[in-house]
Amino acid sequence: MKLHLRVWRQTSAEDRGRFEDYELDDVSPDSSFLEMLDLLNEQLLEQRKMPVAFDHDCREGICGMCGLMVDGMAHGPIPGHTVCQLHMRHFKDGDRIVIEPWRVAAFPVVQDLVVDRGSFDRILQHGGFISFATGTAPEANSILIPKDRADTAMDAATCIGCGACAAACPNGSATLFTAAKVGHLGHLPQGQPERYQRVVGMVDQMDAEGFGGCTNVGACTSVCPKEIGQDFISQMNRDYRRAMLGGAGD
Amino acid sequence: MWRSSIGKKIIMAGTGLIWIGYLLLHMYGNLKVFAGQEAFNHYAESLRTLGEPMVGHGHALLLARVVLTLTLVAHIWAAVALTRIAQQARPVGYAKFRPASGNYATVTMRWGGLALGLFILYHLAHLTWNVRVLTGAYEPGNTFDKLVVGFNNPVNVVLYLLALMAVGFHLWHGGASFFQTMGWRIAASRQWIRVLTGSLAVAIPVGFAVVPLAVAAGWVA
């Protein structure tokens, strides 16, 4: 299939950046979106031009490295997929596709489609952990966790930190990411001792990084490749309220 | 607490809840118009004598006005602050953006809120400050007459009905957001929150709209 691509090009963080148009022929419908970009880069290299920089690693939808705004939608038009798992069979011959990096102040563009998601790491550094005397692995059944609790914690823990939530949010908010990380540990017994310090530390860091506030629109969940739900945001709000206004002692 | 984004949202939720309570009381009062001129005027006067003799004449009304003004200022302050944070969070927009979620209520929260703020000023100018252009010629001191004469002006009726539409949309998303912000919306409560806020978003505008419509239709005269 033949595609008309409009790709954001930016040589460095200081560069103002611009869109460039490319024509790409012989794209296999079975290739992934990133393989299509590989093909584009081979074509650019043959023309002695700079290839398009984009983040990727596992290409199996589990690492959280890739993430592009494909035609105005984070990770493209298929729900529950990272862009590496988006296949070209979902596009038609002759399609025009606009490809942009995440547009969030807290994710500055490094080059072309690569953004710096260090802000997510710093949110995690402010509470996304448990303090634990490390050593040999403890006996698995020494702390009993009800199945539904473990499942809920696992639902939150599926967050791969790709940043699509903030990218698709009309407010550029990282609330779903932070809520998933807060909820993942907050649902487990091991996470209880630091539960309320954690939520305050992570939410304050989220604000300090310059992310927007949540307006409960739900765009984040719609684009999340792991389909993490709005309930985690509600639960994070509840924990934050208890930490601030009392009720955190129970 | 007010410095954080969630703290500002809690302020919006709490002040919004006070205004929902006020709207319900206001709607109840308005519906007394169907009880006739005497009953309605008696009700209007009782707002000033409320709590007497323990509370001084007009003091309960003054307290209500102070609380409503302060909560509205806090609500608007938090909304403006959050809007500015959101704008700063995405200084460079997308060339192509397709909203992944949302409906008419979510996209009109900010502009609809601004429209409601302007309507409140107009509404006060009409019925509290008694601006002559808006009230028309009515018998002074007769609240029932002021209402009927006012709503015989189609401009007042149309603006009132448009504002009620904005109220409905604002309550639809704002009501559900209240529960989400307070942390009470989870899978188990999602359905009844939808029913409750949906009912409020319909019942409050309809409850208010029947009064000007009845006046315009000549049923209340």
d(CA A22, CA A43): 10
A-B contacts (CB, under 8 Å): 142
| C-beta neighbour count of A161 within 10 angstroms | 20
Chain B residue closest to A244 (CA)? B1
Assess contact for B122 and B135: CB atoms under 8 A: no
Please say whether the dihedral angle defined by the alpha carbons of residues A58, A60, A64 and A65, taken in this order, is positive or negative.
positive
Tens of pLDDT, residues B71-106: 999 999 999 999 999 999 999 999 999 998 888 888
* CB within 8 Å: B183 and A221: no
Task: Give ipTM to 2 decimals.
Answer: 0.91
| Chain B residues within 8 angstroms (CB to CB) of chain A | 1, 3-10, 82, 85-86, 88-102, 106, 109, 173, 176-177, 179-187
* CB within 8 Å: A171 and B96: no
From the candidate CATH numbers 2.20.130.10, 3.10.20.30, 1.10.1030.10, 3.40.50.261, the one assigned to the domain spanning A3-110: 3.10.20.30
Identify the pLDDT of residue A249: 61
Write down the residue that tokens 């700079």 correspond to: A50
Tens of pLDDT, residues B161-213: 999 999 999 999 999 999 999 999 998 999 999 999 999 999 999 999 999 99
Please provide the DSSP assignment of chain B as one string.
Answer: -TTSHHHHHHHHHHHHHHHHHHHHHHHHHHHGGGG-HHHHHHHHHHHHHTTTTTSPTTHHHHHHHHHHHHHHHHHHHHHHHHHHHHHHH-SS--SS---SS--HHHHTHHHHHHHHHHHHHHHHHHHTS--HHHH-S--TT-HHHHHHHHHTSHHHHHHHHHHHHHHHHHHHHHHHHHHHHHT--SHHHHHHHHHHHHHHHHHHHHHHHHHHHHHHTTS--
| C-beta neighbour count of A23 within 10 angstroms | 10
* Domain locations along chain A: 3-110, 117-245
Q: Which chain B residues are within 8 Å of A71, Cβ to Cβ?
A: 96, 98
Query: Average per-residue pLDDT in chain B?
Result: 95
Domains A3-110 and A117-245 share a fold: no
Q: CATH number of the domain at A117-245, please?
A: 1.10.1060.10
- Mean pLDDT in each 10-residue stretch from start to end of chain A (250 residues)? 98 96 97 98 97 97 97 96 97 97 98 98 96 83 93 97 97 98 95 95 98 96 97 97 81
CATH numbers and ranges of domains, chain B: 5-216 (1.20.1300.10)
Q: Which chain A residues are within 8 Å of B5, Cβ to Cβ?
A: 173, 175, 203, 206-207, 212-214
